[in-house]
Protein backbone atom coordinates (compact mmCIF):
# COMPACT_ATOMS: atom_id res chain seq x y z
CA UNK A 1 0.00 0.00 0.00
CA UNK A 2 2.56 2.56 -1.15
CA UNK A 3 1.76 6.25 -0.74
CA UNK A 4 3.15 9.09 -2.83
CA UNK A 5 3.76 12.56 -1.42
CA UNK A 6 5.04 15.30 -3.71
CA UNK A 7 6.98 17.99 -1.87
CA UNK A 8 5.80 21.05 -3.76
CA UNK A 9 8.72 23.34 -3.02
CA UNK A 10 11.49 20.85 -2.30
CA UNK A 11 14.01 21.38 0.49
CA UNK A 12 12.15 21.55 3.77
CA UNK A 13 8.90 20.35 2.18
CA UNK A 14 10.55 16.95 1.74
CA UNK A 15 11.27 16.78 5.49
CA UNK A 16 7.72 17.90 6.28
CA UNK A 17 6.42 15.18 3.95
CA UNK A 18 8.00 12.55 6.19
CA UNK A 19 6.19 14.06 9.18
CA UNK A 20 2.86 14.25 7.34
CA UNK A 21 3.17 10.65 6.18
CA UNK A 22 3.50 9.35 9.73
CA UNK A 23 1.01 11.80 11.25
CA UNK A 24 -1.78 11.10 8.75
CA UNK A 25 -1.22 7.52 7.75
CA UNK A 26 0.33 5.88 10.80
CA UNK A 27 3.78 4.63 11.54
CA UNK A 28 3.53 1.20 9.94
CA UNK A 29 6.65 -0.77 9.13
CA UNK A 30 9.84 0.19 7.34
CA UNK A 31 8.27 -1.15 4.14
CA UNK A 32 5.14 0.97 4.63
CA UNK A 33 6.59 4.44 4.12
CA UNK A 34 5.65 6.96 1.49
CA UNK A 35 7.74 7.70 -1.55
CA UNK A 36 8.55 11.42 -1.39
CA UNK A 37 8.93 13.03 -4.81
CA UNK A 38 10.98 16.18 -4.33
CA UNK A 39 13.24 18.69 -5.99
CA UNK A 40 16.92 18.68 -5.15
CA UNK A 41 16.76 22.44 -4.69
CA UNK A 42 18.67 23.55 -1.62
CA UNK A 43 19.54 27.15 -0.94
CA UNK A 44 23.07 28.51 -1.21
CA UNK A 45 24.01 27.61 2.37
CA UNK A 46 24.01 23.99 1.16
CA UNK A 47 24.32 24.15 -2.62
CA UNK A 48 26.50 26.90 -4.10
CA UNK A 49 25.08 26.26 -7.57
CA UNK A 50 21.85 28.23 -8.23
CA UNK A 51 18.65 26.45 -9.17
CA UNK A 52 17.48 22.83 -8.86
CA UNK A 53 19.67 19.82 -9.52
CA UNK A 54 18.82 17.23 -12.14
CA UNK A 55 19.68 13.55 -12.43
CA UNK A 56 22.94 14.38 -14.22
CA UNK A 57 24.07 16.32 -11.13
CA UNK A 58 24.28 13.12 -9.02
CA UNK A 59 26.16 9.86 -8.97
CA UNK A 60 24.70 6.72 -7.44
CA UNK A 61 21.03 7.31 -8.26
CA UNK A 62 18.69 4.33 -8.58
CA UNK A 63 16.25 4.19 -11.49
CA UNK A 64 12.60 3.75 -10.51
CA UNK A 65 11.14 4.49 -13.96
CA UNK A 66 12.69 5.76 -17.22
CA UNK A 67 12.35 9.36 -15.98
CA UNK A 68 12.41 9.03 -12.18
CA UNK A 69 15.37 8.19 -9.96
CA UNK A 70 15.55 7.48 -6.24
CA UNK A 71 18.24 9.29 -4.27
CA UNK A 72 19.69 6.67 -1.89
CA UNK A 73 21.94 7.44 1.04
CA UNK A 74 25.10 6.65 -0.92
CA UNK A 75 24.24 8.99 -3.82
CA UNK A 76 26.46 12.03 -4.15
CA UNK A 77 26.00 15.41 -5.86
CA UNK A 78 28.60 16.17 -8.49
CA UNK A 79 30.93 18.92 -7.24
CA UNK A 80 30.57 21.81 -6.79
CA UNK A 81 26.85 21.12 -6.28
CA UNK A 82 25.46 20.15 -2.89
CA UNK A 83 22.29 18.40 -1.74
CA UNK A 84 20.59 17.42 1.50
CA UNK A 85 18.77 14.47 -0.12
CA UNK A 86 21.38 11.72 0.41
CA UNK A 87 21.60 12.57 4.10
CA UNK A 88 17.80 12.63 4.37
CA UNK A 89 17.73 9.19 2.78
CA UNK A 90 20.25 8.00 5.36
CA UNK A 91 18.34 9.38 8.35
CA UNK A 92 14.67 8.95 7.40
CA UNK A 93 12.93 5.67 6.47
CA UNK A 94 11.37 7.02 3.28
CA UNK A 95 12.31 6.73 -0.38
CA UNK A 96 13.21 10.12 -1.83
CA UNK A 97 12.63 10.34 -5.58
CA UNK A 98 14.10 13.17 -7.64
CA UNK A 99 11.68 15.64 -9.21
CA UNK A 100 13.58 17.15 -12.13
CA UNK A 101 12.08 20.32 -13.71
CA UNK A 102 14.70 20.76 -16.43
CA UNK A 103 12.26 19.49 -19.08
CA UNK A 104 9.58 21.89 -17.89
CA UNK A 105 6.12 20.98 -16.67
CA UNK A 106 5.68 18.48 -19.51
CA UNK A 107 8.65 16.55 -18.19
CA UNK A 108 7.32 16.69 -14.63
CA UNK A 109 3.92 15.38 -15.77
CA UNK A 110 5.73 12.49 -17.45
CA UNK A 111 7.65 11.78 -14.23
CA UNK A 112 4.47 11.80 -12.16
CA UNK A 113 2.57 9.56 -14.56
CA UNK A 114 5.42 7.05 -14.72
CA UNK A 115 5.78 6.97 -10.95
CA UNK A 116 2.05 6.57 -10.39
CA UNK A 117 1.93 3.68 -12.87
CA UNK A 118 4.98 2.09 -11.24
CA UNK A 119 3.82 2.47 -7.62
CA UNK A 120 0.03 2.25 -7.97
CA UNK A 121 -0.11 4.35 -4.78
CA UNK A 122 -3.04 4.13 -2.38
CA UNK A 123 -2.92 7.93 -1.96
CA UNK A 124 -1.21 10.91 -3.59
CA UNK A 125 -0.66 14.19 -1.76
CA UNK A 126 0.90 17.45 -2.94
CA UNK A 127 2.37 19.18 0.12
CA UNK A 128 3.39 22.79 0.59
CA UNK A 129 4.68 24.29 3.83
CA UNK A 130 3.53 27.88 4.20
CA UNK A 131 0.89 28.14 1.52
CA UNK A 132 2.52 30.16 -1.26
CA UNK A 133 1.25 27.48 -3.63
CA UNK A 134 -2.17 29.16 -3.15
CA UNK A 135 -0.90 32.49 -4.49
CA UNK A 136 -2.00 34.22 -7.68
CA UNK A 137 1.66 34.28 -8.63
CA UNK A 138 2.10 38.05 -8.86
CA UNK A 139 1.88 39.13 -5.19
CA UNK A 140 4.69 41.52 -4.19
CA UNK A 141 5.39 39.44 -1.06
CA UNK A 142 6.24 36.29 -3.03
CA UNK A 143 9.91 35.30 -2.97
CA UNK A 144 9.95 31.83 -4.49
CA UNK A 145 6.92 31.25 -6.72
CA UNK A 146 8.50 29.13 -9.44
CA UNK A 147 9.02 25.80 -7.70
CA UNK A 148 5.50 25.62 -6.29
CA UNK A 149 3.96 26.77 -9.58
CA UNK A 150 5.81 24.04 -11.47
CA UNK A 151 4.56 21.39 -9.02
CA UNK A 152 1.01 22.72 -9.08
CA UNK A 153 0.88 22.86 -12.88
CA UNK A 154 2.15 19.29 -13.15
CA UNK A 155 -0.28 17.87 -10.59
CA UNK A 156 -3.22 19.70 -12.19
CA UNK A 157 -2.62 17.82 -15.45
CA UNK A 158 -2.34 14.31 -14.04
CA UNK A 159 -5.54 12.25 -14.25
CA UNK A 160 -5.02 10.58 -10.86
CA UNK A 161 -6.70 12.02 -7.76
CA UNK A 162 -4.24 14.25 -5.91
CA UNK A 163 -4.97 15.97 -2.60
CA UNK A 164 -3.37 19.37 -1.97
CA UNK A 165 -2.17 19.89 1.62
CA UNK A 166 -0.87 23.10 3.19
CA UNK A 167 1.04 22.80 6.46
CA UNK A 168 1.83 25.80 8.66
CA UNK A 169 -0.05 28.50 6.72
CA UNK A 170 1.99 31.69 6.60
CA UNK A 171 5.23 30.14 7.87
CA UNK A 172 7.05 30.75 4.58
CA UNK A 173 6.39 34.48 4.97
CA UNK A 174 5.07 34.85 1.43
CA UNK A 175 1.27 35.04 1.73
CA UNK A 176 -0.24 36.33 5.02
CA UNK A 177 -2.43 33.94 6.98
CA UNK A 178 -5.30 36.43 6.72
CA UNK A 179 -5.23 36.13 2.93
CA UNK A 180 -4.79 32.37 2.98
CA UNK A 181 -7.75 31.64 5.25
CA UNK A 182 -10.38 31.95 2.53
CA UNK A 183 -8.32 29.73 0.23
CA UNK A 184 -7.81 26.94 2.76
CA UNK A 185 -10.15 24.02 3.17
CA UNK A 186 -10.80 21.85 6.23
CA UNK A 187 -8.22 21.09 8.90
CA UNK A 188 -6.72 17.66 8.30
CA UNK A 189 -4.46 17.49 11.33
CA UNK A 190 -2.74 19.64 13.94
CA UNK A 191 0.85 18.56 14.41
CA UNK A 192 2.10 17.80 17.90
CA UNK A 193 5.50 17.46 19.53
CA UNK A 194 5.13 13.69 19.17
CA UNK A 195 4.49 14.05 15.43
CA UNK A 196 7.66 16.03 14.78
CA UNK A 197 9.90 14.07 17.15
CA UNK A 198 11.17 11.71 14.38
CA UNK A 199 12.64 14.64 12.42
CA UNK A 200 14.22 16.25 15.48
CA UNK A 201 17.72 14.98 14.59
CA UNK A 202 17.26 16.09 10.97
CA UNK A 203 16.34 19.63 11.97
CA UNK A 204 19.58 19.83 13.94
CA UNK A 205 21.38 20.20 10.60
CA UNK A 206 18.77 20.87 7.89
CA UNK A 207 18.63 24.60 7.00
CA UNK A 208 14.93 24.88 6.09
CA UNK A 209 13.47 27.85 7.92
CA UNK A 210 9.78 27.16 7.18
CA UNK A 211 9.97 23.52 8.29
CA UNK A 212 12.07 24.60 11.26
CA UNK A 213 9.31 26.95 12.35
CA UNK A 214 6.68 24.27 11.66
CA UNK A 215 8.62 21.93 13.96
CA UNK A 216 8.98 24.58 16.67
CA UNK A 217 5.29 25.52 16.46
CA UNK A 218 4.30 21.86 16.84
CA UNK A 219 6.43 21.80 20.00
CA UNK A 220 4.54 24.79 21.38
CA UNK A 221 6.98 27.61 20.61
CA UNK A 222 5.20 30.94 20.16
CA UNK A 223 6.52 34.42 19.38
CA UNK A 224 7.90 36.38 16.43
CA UNK A 225 10.66 34.76 14.38
CA UNK A 226 13.06 36.67 12.13
CA UNK A 227 14.22 34.78 9.03
CA UNK A 228 15.99 35.06 5.68
CA UNK A 229 18.76 37.39 4.67
CA UNK A 230 16.26 40.28 4.52
CA UNK A 231 15.13 39.79 8.13
CA UNK A 232 11.48 38.98 7.45
CA UNK A 233 9.43 38.49 10.63
CA UNK A 234 6.92 35.64 10.93
CA UNK A 235 4.49 35.14 13.84
CA UNK A 236 4.56 31.75 15.55
CA UNK A 237 0.92 31.24 16.51
CA UNK A 238 -1.58 28.44 16.97
CA UNK A 239 -1.98 28.42 13.15
CA UNK A 240 1.62 27.24 12.84
CA UNK A 241 1.23 23.47 13.37
CA UNK A 242 -2.07 23.13 11.48
CA UNK A 243 -2.37 21.10 8.25
CA UNK A 244 -5.20 22.07 5.88
CA UNK A 245 -6.57 20.55 2.74
CA UNK A 246 -7.07 22.93 -0.19
CA UNK A 247 -8.76 22.70 -3.58
CA UNK A 248 -6.04 21.82 -6.10
CA UNK A 249 -8.06 22.75 -9.19
CA UNK A 250 -9.01 26.13 -7.70
CA UNK A 251 -5.38 26.75 -6.78
CA UNK A 252 -4.31 26.03 -10.35
CA UNK A 253 -6.97 28.33 -11.81
CA UNK A 254 -5.94 31.11 -9.42
CA UNK A 255 -2.19 30.83 -10.00
CA UNK A 256 -1.32 32.86 -13.11
CA UNK A 257 2.23 31.54 -13.22
CA UNK A 258 1.15 27.89 -12.98
CA UNK A 259 -1.26 28.41 -15.86
CA UNK A 260 1.36 30.13 -18.00
CA UNK A 261 3.99 27.39 -17.58
CA UNK A 262 1.66 24.40 -17.89
CA UNK A 263 2.92 23.41 -21.36
CA UNK A 264 6.60 24.32 -20.94
CA UNK A 265 9.28 21.87 -22.06
CA UNK A 266 12.28 23.45 -20.34
CA UNK A 267 13.20 25.21 -17.12
CA UNK A 268 14.55 28.28 -18.92
CA UNK A 269 11.19 28.68 -20.65
CA UNK A 270 9.40 28.50 -17.29
CA UNK A 271 11.81 31.08 -15.92
CA UNK A 272 10.92 33.50 -18.71
CA UNK A 273 7.25 33.25 -17.80
CA UNK A 274 8.16 33.80 -14.15
CA UNK A 275 9.99 37.01 -15.02
CA UNK A 276 7.07 38.23 -17.13
CA UNK A 277 4.42 37.55 -14.48
CA UNK A 278 6.30 38.02 -11.20
CA UNK A 279 8.95 40.46 -12.37
CA UNK A 280 11.80 38.13 -11.40
CA UNK A 281 12.89 34.52 -11.14
CA UNK A 282 14.07 33.12 -7.82
CA UNK A 283 16.91 31.43 -9.68
CA UNK A 284 18.06 34.86 -10.87
CA UNK A 285 18.14 35.94 -7.22
CA UNK A 286 20.22 32.88 -6.37
CA UNK A 287 22.58 33.65 -9.26
CA UNK A 288 23.10 37.21 -8.06
CA UNK A 289 23.58 36.14 -4.45
CA UNK A 290 26.03 33.40 -5.45
CA UNK A 291 28.06 35.91 -7.45
CA UNK A 292 28.24 38.27 -4.46
CA UNK A 293 29.17 35.60 -1.95
CA UNK A 294 31.66 34.00 -4.33
CA UNK A 295 33.64 37.24 -4.57
CA UNK A 296 33.87 37.71 -0.78
CA UNK A 297 36.63 35.86 1.12
CA UNK A 298 35.53 33.74 4.08
CA UNK A 299 36.38 35.34 7.41
CA UNK A 300 37.87 33.17 10.15
CA UNK A 301 35.49 31.92 12.84
CA UNK A 302 36.44 33.69 16.06
CA UNK A 303 34.17 32.51 18.90
CA UNK A 304 34.58 35.57 21.12
CA UNK A 305 33.81 37.97 18.28
CA UNK A 306 30.89 35.80 17.14
CA UNK A 307 29.34 35.78 20.64
CA UNK A 308 29.66 39.56 20.79
CA UNK A 309 27.99 39.84 17.40
CA UNK A 310 25.14 37.55 18.51
CA UNK A 311 24.62 39.68 21.63
CA UNK A 312 24.37 42.85 19.52
CA UNK A 313 22.01 41.17 17.09
CA UNK A 314 19.80 39.88 19.92
CA UNK A 315 19.57 43.30 21.56
CA UNK A 316 18.58 44.99 18.30
CA UNK A 317 16.13 42.21 17.38
CA UNK A 318 14.41 42.30 20.76
CA UNK A 319 13.94 46.04 20.29
CA UNK A 320 12.03 45.16 17.10
CA UNK A 321 9.82 42.78 19.06
CA UNK A 322 11.52 39.66 17.74
CA UNK A 323 11.67 36.66 20.07
CA UNK A 324 13.32 33.97 17.89
CA UNK A 325 15.47 33.48 14.84
CA UNK A 326 16.82 30.63 12.75
CA UNK A 327 20.47 29.62 12.64
CA UNK A 328 20.38 30.22 8.89
CA UNK A 329 19.31 33.83 9.38
CA UNK A 330 21.77 34.35 12.21
CA UNK A 331 24.57 32.96 10.06
CA UNK A 332 23.82 35.43 7.29
CA UNK A 333 23.21 38.36 9.65
CA UNK A 334 26.66 37.86 11.16
CA UNK A 335 28.31 37.63 7.75
CA UNK A 336 29.39 34.02 8.25
CA UNK A 337 29.63 31.45 5.48
CA UNK A 338 27.32 28.50 5.02
CA UNK A 339 29.93 26.04 6.28
CA UNK A 340 30.30 28.12 9.47
CA UNK A 341 26.62 27.66 10.32
CA UNK A 342 27.40 24.40 12.15
CA UNK A 343 30.19 26.12 14.10
CA UNK A 344 27.82 28.92 15.12
CA UNK A 345 25.13 26.50 16.20
CA UNK A 346 27.54 24.39 18.26
CA UNK A 347 29.01 27.48 19.91
CA UNK A 348 25.64 28.94 20.92
CA UNK A 349 24.09 25.71 22.15
CA UNK A 350 27.28 24.89 24.01
CA UNK A 351 27.46 28.24 25.80
CA UNK A 352 23.77 29.19 26.15
CA UNK A 353 21.72 25.97 25.96
CA UNK A 354 18.76 27.55 27.74
CA UNK A 355 18.08 29.67 24.65
CA UNK A 356 17.72 26.72 22.30
CA UNK A 357 14.02 26.33 21.40
CA UNK A 358 14.73 23.48 19.01
CA UNK A 359 15.32 24.07 16.18
CA UNK A 360 15.12 27.87 16.69
CA UNK A 361 17.27 30.25 18.73
CA UNK A 362 15.46 32.30 21.36
CA UNK A 363 16.67 35.86 21.64
Q: pTM value?
A: 0.95
Higher pLDDT, 27 or 299: 299
**Contact between 193 and 211 (Cβ < 8 Å):** no
Query: How high is the pLDDT of residue 92?
Result: 95
**Contact between 115 and 37 (Cβ < 8 Å):** yes
pLDDT in tens, 246-292: 999 999 999 999 999 999 999 999 999 999 999 999 999 999 988 88
In sign, the C-alpha dihedral spanning 120, 122, 126, 128 is negative
Query: How high is the pLDDT of residue 10?
Result: 78
Higher pLDDT, 229 or 330: 330
Both ends of the chain: CA-CA distance in Å? 45
pLDDT band at 44 (very low <50, low <70, confident <90, very high): confident
pLDDT band at 141 (very low <50, low <70, confident <90, very high): confident
Higher pLDDT, 44 or 224: 224
pLDDT in tens, 146-178: 999 999 999 999 999 999 999 999 999 999 899
Report the candidate in 15, 10, 5, 8 with the shortest Cα–Cα distance to residue 211.
15
Report the candidate in 233, 274, 245, 237 with the shortest Cα–Cα distance to residue 257.
274
Query: How high is the pLDDT of residue 299?
Result: 82
Residue 65 has pLDDT above 60, yes or no: yes
Query: How high is the pLDDT of residue 337?
Result: 85
pLDDT in tens, 199-215: 999 999 999 999 999 99
Report the candidate in 12, 355, 229, 171 with the shortest Cα–Cα distance to residue 345.
355
Instruction: Work out the average pLDDT over 77-85.
Output: 96
Residue 26 has pLDDT above 90, yes or no: no
Query: How high is the pLDDT of residue 11?
Result: 83
Query: How high is the pLDDT of residue 296?
Result: 62
What's the CA gap between 110 and 107, in Å, rounded?
5
Query: How high is the pLDDT of residue 283?
Result: 95
Residue 308 has pLDDT above 80, yes or no: yes
Using a pLDDT cut of 70, give the percent of the chain over it: 97
pLDDT band at 27 (very low <50, low <70, confident <90, very high): low
Average pLDDT of the residues of the chain: 94
Residue 32 has pLDDT above 80, yes or no: no
List all residues 6 or more positions away from 152 whose beta carbon is below 8 Å from its beta carbon.
8, 126, 133, 248, 251, 252, 255, 258
Residue 28 has pLDDT above 80, yes or no: no
Beta bridge partners of 187: 244
What's the CA gap between 221 and 227, in Å, rounded?
15
Count Cβ atoms within 10 A of the Cβ of residue 144 and give its class: 0-12 exposed, 13-18 middle, 19 or more buried: buried
pLDDT band at 30 (very low <50, low <70, confident <90, very high): low
Residue 58 has pLDDT above 80, yes or no: yes
Amino acid sequence: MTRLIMAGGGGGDAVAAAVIDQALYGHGTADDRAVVLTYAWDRLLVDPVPGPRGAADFTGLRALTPSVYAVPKDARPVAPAGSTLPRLAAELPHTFALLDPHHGVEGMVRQLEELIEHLAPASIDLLDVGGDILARGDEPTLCSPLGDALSLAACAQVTAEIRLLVAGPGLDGEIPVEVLRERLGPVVHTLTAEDVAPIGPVMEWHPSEATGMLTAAARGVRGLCEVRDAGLTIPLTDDGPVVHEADLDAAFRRNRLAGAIADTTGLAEAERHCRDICGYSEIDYEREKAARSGSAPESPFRPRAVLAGVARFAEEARARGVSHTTFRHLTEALGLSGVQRADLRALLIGTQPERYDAPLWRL
